[in-house]
């Protein structure tokens, strides 16, 4: 099978009426799947449906500072996800970013293959399609482009598309602006814990042995979810939490993101002028579970292509030890819920658990005479 045949876009363009079995989710997962457009429409029509909180963080710089901190704290604790308004990212910058990303995915597949990654060889950055690395052994209905976007001096620019020519400058500009936004949100979230505003960012950057600060790493992943003939059977991205500290998300206007809250899946609505922010595992560890790493997934549609831009804000992989903040455990306030680990160790543990779960499922299937697909 060639690389082109592996791409989900190629399957979508082939006008198949069915999808290959490796994309069909397990029966217990399919009970609440559906076309992203229809699911979003139903949620919009339901006046009683839960809604992801919307917080205007521009108030942090004015008289509404205390109320802003409280709103962000509540959203991070109770939901682990929020729509952020007043984020300071200019609309024209976001428009250029979307245009450049969509132009890349509009290129012929063979041209995009010049930037192909090779996860088996340890090259995770570049153009790719998500292969099975989960307990079910199922694939996700997406192609993507993934690379470091900040700090710029650490980025491998050979993985940044030369076509369209606007891609490099607009992505570099966007990365720098999101880095500034990350500092602001981490300050607000620190204050929400009753701690000095520099606390969370310092703990995400500080090399304890030498007292040296490494910068946060921002990884950009552009997800393209092609049209799917059976959105009731497939997902764009399966249910998961992000390993990052924070994740920043914008999209092309096509719905599909869902967050798990209070035992149900809540569809992210289109909130004009906002971006979505997720709390990730690294922040949940530092806050000893006060802030929730949100479980989320992405649905697909038979009528529309969804594109999303996700920036994962991560600590340096090996120089920072992630562990609950001592300030939150002082005076018997609580016991640590997480063992110390570097970010790299956390990612490896999470991947190992996925692989072990898949092996256990395969072994159970084999014992029942079932050949795992």
Which residues belong to the active site?
A: 221, 240, 242, 296
Which SS3 state, helix, strand or coil, does residue 362 take?
Answer: helix
For 74-135, the DSSP string reads: HHHHHTSEEEEES----HHHHHHHHHHHHHHHTS-HHHHGGGB-BGGGTB-SEEEEPPP-ST
- For residue 76, give the nearest of 259, 298, 335, 320 by alpha carbon: 259
- For residue 322, give the nearest of 216, 207, 209, 204 by alpha carbon: 204
Contact 289, 279 (CB under 8 A): no
- For residue 322, give the nearest of 332, 334, 336 by alpha carbon: 336
Contact 109, 9 (CB under 8 A): yes
Rounded to whole angstroms, how far apart are CA atoms 373 and 364? Answer: 13
Consecutive H or E run containing 293? none
Pairing of strands 81-85, 54-56: parallel
Q: Which of 217-254 are b and which e, b meaning 16 or more Cβ less than 10 Å from the residue's Cβ?
A: bbbbbbbbbbbbbbbbbbbbbbeebbbbbbbbbbbeeb
């Amino acid at each position: 099978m060639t690389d082109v045949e592996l791409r989900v876009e190629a399957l979508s363009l082939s006008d198949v009426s069915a999808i290959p079995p490796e994309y069909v989710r397990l029966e217990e997962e399919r009970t609440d799947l559906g076309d992203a457009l229809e699911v979003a429409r139903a949620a919009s029509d339901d006046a009683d449906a839960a809604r992801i909180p919307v917080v205007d963080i521009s108030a942090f710089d004015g008289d509404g500072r205390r109320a802003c901190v409280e709103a962000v704290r509540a959203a991070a604790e109770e939901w682990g996800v929020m729509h952020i308004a007043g984020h300071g990212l200019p609309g024209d910058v976001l428009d250029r970013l979307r245009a450049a990303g969509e132009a890349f995915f509009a290129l012929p597949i063979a041209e995009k293959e010049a930037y192909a990654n090779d996860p088996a060889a340890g090259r995770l950055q570049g153009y790719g399609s998500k292969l099975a690395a989960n307990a079910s052994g199922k694939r996700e209905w997406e192609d993507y482009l993934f690379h470091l976007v900040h700090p710029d001096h650490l980025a491998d620019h050979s993985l940044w598309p030369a076509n369209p020519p606007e891609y490099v400058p607009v992505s570099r500009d966007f990365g720098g602006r999101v880095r500034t936004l990350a500092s602001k949100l981490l300050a607000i979230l620190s204050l929400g814990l009753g701690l000095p505003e520099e606390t969370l960012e310092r703990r995400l950057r500080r090399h304890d042995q030498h007292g040296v600060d490494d910068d946060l790493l921002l990884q950009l992943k552009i997800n393209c979810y092609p049209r799917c003939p059976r959105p009731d059977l497939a997902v764009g991205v399966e249910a998961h939490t992000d390993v990052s500290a924070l994740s920043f998300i914008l999209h092309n206007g096509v719905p599909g993101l869902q967050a798990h809250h209070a035992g149900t899946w809540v569809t992210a609505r289109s909130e004009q002028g906002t971006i979505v922010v997720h709390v990730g595992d690294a922040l949940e560890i530092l806050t000893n579970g006060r802030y929730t790493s949100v479980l989320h997934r992405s649905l697909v549609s038979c009528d529309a292509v969804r594109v999303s831009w996700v920036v994962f804000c991560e600590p340096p992989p090996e120089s920072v030890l992630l562990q609950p903040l001592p300030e939150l455990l002082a005076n018997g306030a609580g016991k640590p819920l997480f063992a110390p680990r570097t970010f790299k160790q956390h990612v490896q543990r999470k991947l190992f658990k996925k692989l072990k779960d898949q092996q256990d499922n395969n072994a159970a299937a084999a014992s029942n005479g079932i050949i795992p697909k």
